[in-house]
Structure 1
Amino acid sequence: MEFLSNTVALSRTQFALTAIFHMLWPVLTTGMGIFLVIVEGLWLKTKDPDYYRHARFWAKLYVLNFGIGVASGLPMEFQFGTNWAPFSEAVGDFFGSILGFEGAVAFMLEAGFLGIMLFGWERVPPVVHYFATIMVAFGANLSTVWILVANSWLQTPAGGDFVGGKFIVNDYFQAVMNPFALKSILHMFFGTLETSLFVIGGISAWYILNQRQVTFFTKSFKIALATAIAVAPLQIYIGHLSAEQVYQYQPSKLAAMEAKWETSPAGEPADWSLLAIPNSKTESNDWEIRIPNGLGYILEFKKNLAEPVLGLKEWKPEDRPRMVGLVYYSFRIMSGIGFFLVGLMLWSVIQWLRGKLSMNAIASQKWLMRGWIFAAPLGYIAVESGWIVRCVGRQPWVVYGQIRTADGVSNIPASNVLTSLSIFTVIYSILFISTLYFGSRIIRKGANLELPIPGEEIVLAPAEHIEDSRPVEAK
């Protein structure tokens, strides 16, 4: 097969595999870190032991995801030197420094305080432990900031010039705060937080539906729901702002996102494609459902466009995204999931206001709990779909408008890449299955509701009850 002898295609596939697999784990840790800050803060304020036990229970899932994230993230970055050496040589002075910040500043911050967060409960004062938890969450989200800065720069390079095929930095701050950076960081931050909230809510709903530790997990369910009230709709809005940036800076990607082949001139309405079957060979859609004037309202909130929306035919085939169908449907999957999660949140809020989520009534809300369980993996799918739109839609450029992907790949035999790709596939499959196994064990076991509270004196039962000498908490 031609694919198996194509170094560029194999290197792209390998990077896609490692990136998609790696993304599964920090998506949860970045958002769950914030949840751990919330529940530990509630424990310190209210002294309710359930919040302490929530912190201990969810921290197990956090560290499991953290470990797999580290194991899968390092090989992904090494590929810049092995598979993408010409690209790294051209942009390494800036791009490499950003990745260095992510490792030396953000990752080390998270890893440095993780041990205190996990094992310091009875070894350090509560305020010190809480500070460690905050630093873990801050470090996890700071990693996201640097990664999004690096990737946003690939989308909208700024702060310097390419001289002799090498990027020379003129304004480092401008390069960091490139046009895509801020809104991309916010979009990813709320995306990871939303994903984590619905995972936590979904797992809590599973316990409630199965009548296990209902009172305990009702608390985590309500915390996730209360936070989602703000996060879910805000994520939709920020996503819209990100799409406006694509309209402004990457018109070819927007054309692929909408499977739009013909240009809609300024001053005229533009239809929006709800569903379609794009055909790159005929440069048209074989089948399509359109919403009249819809694209104008989506992009500019008005019927007639102030600026033209360019169609794919405006670019030569080699200068535009080729996997139009993948970009088109990935965008719709991401958007559809976003609106579904908002709808589930609204349904849950209505039931909450009706008193249906009280400790005595919540277990009867079986369809609502099933909805949250169903929603638990959807955030992952939305985030992965968003990254597909972001990166596949950027093609054929590795640095948009400056360096083609084919020119950034290393000159190595395709057989070498195929070998490493095969090894990654096997190892990552084992890691994925192992993570699901250990994660399911943690969930099946449930929370330890007998876990002693730090700082509370433990005494033994009276001698006459020595046959049942389990520790009891001093009152």
Structure 2
Amino acid sequence: MSAELASTFDPMLLARIQFAANISFHILFPSISIALGWVLVFFKWRYNRTKAEHWQRAYYFWVKIFALSFALGVVSGITMSFQFGTNWPGFMETVGNIAGPLLAYEILTAFFLEATFLGIMLFGQKRVGDRLHTIATVLVASGTTLSVFWIIALNSWMHTPVGFEMINGQAHATSWLQIIFNPSMPYRFTHMMLASGLTVAFLIAGISAYRYVRGGRSDDIQIGIKTGVTLAAVLIPLQILVGDLHGLNTLQHQPAKIAAMEGIWETQQGAPAVLFAIPDQKNRVNKAEIAIPKLASLYLTHDLNGELKGLNDFVGKHPPVAPVFFALRIMVGIGLLMLAISWLACWFVWHKPALPAFVSRSLVAMSFSGWIALLAGWYTTEIGRQPYLVQGVLTTAEAAAKVPVPMLASSLVMYLTLYIFLIISYISVVFYLARKADRTESNGSTATVSTPTTPTFTTTIRA
């Protein structure tokens, strides 16, 4: 890259894009393994109770997806951690006394637990028996939950830092309980667990529906669809409730983020809910705005005339408005679509003998919708914290290293190329495993495969 071309790029912006690319790729796979571990526990428990082989087949199909997701999550997590030292040394220099132990707890209490018992999950049932195999599955699922607990504790502390004091420019812990259970941590942890559950629910329903569309009617396909849509139908209203509580917490601790999310420029009482607009940060107005009067005050303060601070109260200390504004609406839009499709599919699954084609194809199309909603929510949260890396303590600019632009640009291109290839490969492998499972069942035992017209949803769930 020539010196003239390099001078046109902002090195900190490139470093931020690179870290965003890494964490965006990384978070996709833990979002599956976190909840999928507990779904595997459910499949295993049902098999132990009934000894029905379709629960066992469902377990062994989805444990392969779990192992694949776990492997990619580990690899991408290692890559991401390197960037703390290469691109963002100021982060660990300033808050390493707090971030370091929390990351270490995640490795010691969670990752080792997952890695130790994953082999037993995959290969050990015939060697250790059903009871120990079930315990191993529970321990792996517990490890994934512990992992997200420690990571969300750290991330939440970066948004709502408490329990520390600054000495010579470094953060030192004064209360680990306050640090871990900081004001936003319960809301973020619950929100992330439900997001993982919804991601997995639509993945299971979508891939099972893909097999269904291809003519598969085996019992493990039926329970996959039923488990996925039922889980989604239950979790999405809970996610809406938790999202509301999370919004109230964010309003209290990060009002500038809320102002950007809502596209509100002036402090006002009875603030409208802006359904759509094109935020113009230069002129500090919204263009083409479509809004419902007083609605934002109602759902954020639970008062039609509640006051919301506008972005003009935080000039120079608020996030870029457009990315936060649009990311929130993408997340909400996908969430509402999830609600409609899951409830519709759930009604057919529980009341009809077969899925209509438009419902099953809709589920296939929504297989990876959880990823889109998750990333949109993550961008809302993380971009909404700008210009701070640790709210009120450390700005992004203060943490950034002076890395040459050619080095940042070339490594960014390399990362993006690799990640696009791996994501396409991952999705391709998931659908390949689905096709392979159908071929195996068709060639193996015809007794477990029903004809396309057989009403199997009700009878399967009773088993």
Query: What is the TM-score with the length of structure 2 in the denominator?
Result: 0.91
Question: Which residue of the other structure, out of 367, 385, 401, is the alignment partner of 1:394?
Answer: 385
After TM superposition, list the pairs within 5 Å mapping 1:141-156 onto structure 2. 141-156=145-160
CA positional deviation for 1:2 = 6.8
CA positional deviation for 1:228 = 2.5
Provide the residue aligned with 2:451 in structure 1: none
Provide the residue aligned with 2:141 in structure 1: 137
Report Cα offsets for 1:338-366 as digits up to 9, x if no partner. 1221222221233245x21x3xx33xx11
Q: Which runs of 5+ in 2 are unaligned?
A: 446-463
Provide the residue aligned with 1:442 in structure 2: 433
**Contact 1:297/1:303 (<8 A) preserved:** yes
CA positional deviation for 1:440 = 2.6
Give me the identity figure in percent. 34
Matching residue's letter, 1:434? S
Provide the residue aligned with 1:314 in structure 2: 313
Question: Which residue of the other structure, out of 318, 325, 340, is the alignment partner of 2:322?
Answer: 325
Query: 1: CA distance between counterparts of 2:227 and 2:153?
Result: 31
**Contact 1:3/1:10 (<8 A) preserved:** no
CA positional deviation for 1:333 = 1.0
CA positional deviation for 1:46 = 0.4
Provide the residue aligned with 2:194 in structure 1: 190
RMSD: 1.8
Question: Which residue of the other structure, out of 15, 25, 28, is the alignment partner of 1:24?
Answer: 28
Query: 1: CA distance between counterparts of 2:169 and 2:206?
Result: 49
CA positional deviation for 1:182 = 0.8
Secondary structure at 2:162 match in 1: coil
**Contact 1:117/1:132 (<8 A) preserved:** yes
Question: Which residue of the other structure, out of 57, 64, 71, is the alignment partner of 2:61?
Answer: 57
After TM superposition, list the pairs within 5 Å mapping 1:26-175 onto structure 2. 26-175=30-179
Secondary structure at 1:319 match in 2: coil
CA positional deviation for 1:226 = 2.5
Query: 1: CA distance between counterparts of 2:392 and 2:107?
Result: 28
Q: Which runs of 5+ in 1 are unaligned?
A: 454-475
**Contact 1:53/1:451 (<8 A) preserved:** no
CA positional deviation for 1:80 = 0.9
Query: 2: CA distance between counterparts of 1:55 and 1:3?
Result: 54
Query: 2: CA distance between counterparts of 1:220 and 1:417?
Result: 44
Secondary structure at 2:140 match in 1: helix
CA positional deviation for 1:214 = 4.2
Query: 1: CA distance between counterparts of 2:388 and 2:61?
Result: 44
Matching residue's letter, 2:60? R
**Which structure has the highest helix share of the two?**
2
Query: What is the TM-score with the length of structure 1 in the denominator?
Result: 0.89
Question: Which residue of the other structure, out of 336, 341, 359, is the alignment partner of 1:339?
Answer: 336
CA positional deviation for 1:293 = 1.2
Report Cα offsets for 1:20-53 as digits up to 9, x if no partner. 0111111111111111111111000000011011
Query: 2: CA distance between counterparts of 1:278 and 1:298?
Result: 21
Provide the residue aligned with 2:410 in structure 1: 419
Query: 2: CA distance between counterparts of 1:204 and 1:4?
Result: 49
CA positional deviation for 1:451 = 11
After TM superposition, list the pairs within 5 Å mapping 1:179-328 onto structure 2. 179-264=183-268, 268-305=269-306, 308-316=307-315, 318-322=316-320, 324-328=321-325
**Contact 1:64/1:439 (<8 A) preserved:** no
Question: Which residue of the other structure, out of 341, 348, 352, is the alignment partner of 1:351?
Answer: 348
Query: 2: CA distance between counterparts of 1:257 and 1:107?
Result: 34
Rg bigger for which structure?
A: 1
Provide the residue aligned with 2:460 in structure 1: none
Matching residue's letter, 1:279? D
CA positional deviation for 1:297 = 1.6
**Contact 2:226/2:349 (<8 A) preserved:** no
CA positional deviation for 1:422 = 2.4
